[in-house]
Amino acid sequence: MYITADTIERWIKEDVPYIDLTTLALGIGSVKGIIRFTAREFTVLSGVEEVLKIFNKLEINPTHSMPSGSIVDKGDVFIEAEGLAANLHMAWKVSLNILEYSSGIATRTKRMVDQAIAANPDIAVVATRKSFPGTKELAVKSIIAGGAFPHRLGLSETILIFQQHREFLGDIHALMQELKQLKAKSCEKKIIVEVESLEEARLLAESGIDGLQFDKIPANDLKIMVEQIRGINPKITLIGAGGINESNIAEYAATGIDAIATTAMYFGKPSDIGVKMEKF
C-alpha cells in the first residue's frame, strides 16, 4: 500500500498540533527510552509499516517489527523501538490508533475468509467501498492483510449497474437494449448488474451479461438461483451481497457463488494492543 509522506505527517500533526505539553512540562523529553507494542489477544496485524514510517519521521529507531498480515497471540511483542522520550510520546497514540483499528479490520477479515473458504475453497471474499471516509488507504490495506480483496476501490473502476442507475434507463428490457453498445464502449471491462429476483437474473444471463450481483437474497433461495443461472451460462460471474457477515458467511459461500461482497469487516471492536515505555 502506497501512503504518501504528506499523509504520514498529517497524521502526526493531527495529534501534535504544536507541542506535547505534558512531556515538555515534565522536562523528560531528552531522556532515551524504549517503546513496545504487545498483542493482548489473537490478532492479524495491519498498519505496522505506517507506524514505522511515523517512527522514521520522529527519529525513532525500530529494533524489532513484524509485517502486516502476521498473526500474533496474547503476549507477543510485535514492535519495539528506541528514541527520545519526546519523540516516543508523539508517536505513541497515533501509532496505537492505527494499529488497533487496522488490525481489528484485518482480524475480522481473516475470520470471515477462513469460514468462507472452509465452505467453498474457490470463493473470493471482497470488501465493499463503504469504509469510513478518509480511512480508505488503511482500510484496504487491512482487508488485504486479512486475506480478502477490494470489491471496488471507487467509481472509476468496474461497471456495476445498480437499481439506482436503472431508474434513469427504464425497466430491465431498456437495460438489455443498451447492453450491446455498453459492451462496445467498454470492451476491456466486465459488466455486472445487481439483481433482486430470479426473473431479472435469468433475463440478464440470457442476454450475455458478464456477471450478476445478488442483493439481500436469503442463502437458501440464492443456492437455487445460482443453479438455474449456471444452467443458462456456466461462465457467468455470480456475487452475493447485502447482509452477509461473520454469522452467515459460510452459508452464503456454500451456495456456489464466485464471490461474497461485504462491508462487515469494517465494523466491530478494534484489536486490543498494549503499549509500554521504559527508560533506556
Residue 280 — pLDDT band, cuts 50, 70, 90?
A: confident
Class of residue 172 by CB neighbours under 10 A (exposed 0-12, middle 13-18, buried 19+): middle
Strand (E) or helix (H) holding 172: helix 172-185
Task: Report the share of the chain in percent with pLDDT over 90.
Answer: 85
Specify whether the CB–CB gap between 243 and 109 falls below 8 A. no
Residue 49 — pLDDT band, cuts 50, 70, 90?
A: very high
Please indicate whether residue 280 or residue 213 has the higher confidence score (pLDDT). Answer: 213
Model confidence pLDDT, tens digit, residues 255-266 = 999 999 999 999
In three-state secondary structure terms, 43 is strand
Sheet holding 124-127, edge to edge: 149-150, 124-127, 259-262, 237-241, 211-215, 191-195, 159-161
CATH of 112-266, one of 3.40.50.970, 3.20.20.70, 3.30.70.380, 1.10.3720.10: 3.20.20.70
Q: What is the pLDDT of residue 187?
A: 87
CA distance 171 to 221: 23
With a cut of 90, say whether residue 178 has pLDDT above it. no
Q: Give the least confident one: 30-44, 55-69, 74-88, 144-158.
A: 144-158
Strand (E) or helix (H) holding 32: strand 32-39
With a cut of 90, say whether residue 93 has pLDDT above it. yes
Q: What is the pLDDT of residue 157?
A: 85
Q: What is the pLDDT of residue 10?
A: 96
Cell numbers found for residue 158? 468496474
In three-state secondary structure terms, 264 is helix
Residue 179 — pLDDT band, cuts 50, 70, 90?
A: confident
**Once rounded to an integer, what is the mean pLDDT over residues 58-80?**
98
Residue 177 — pLDDT band, cuts 50, 70, 90?
A: confident
Angle among Cα 212, 259, 117 to the nearest 5 degrees reads 155
Q: Where are the domains of the chain?
A: 5-104+269-279, 112-266
Q: What is the pLDDT of residue 84?
A: 98
CATH number of 5-104+269-279: 3.90.1170.20
Q: What is the pLDDT of residue 171?
A: 85
With a cut of 90, say whether residue 170 has pLDDT above it. no
pLDDT, the chain, mean: 95
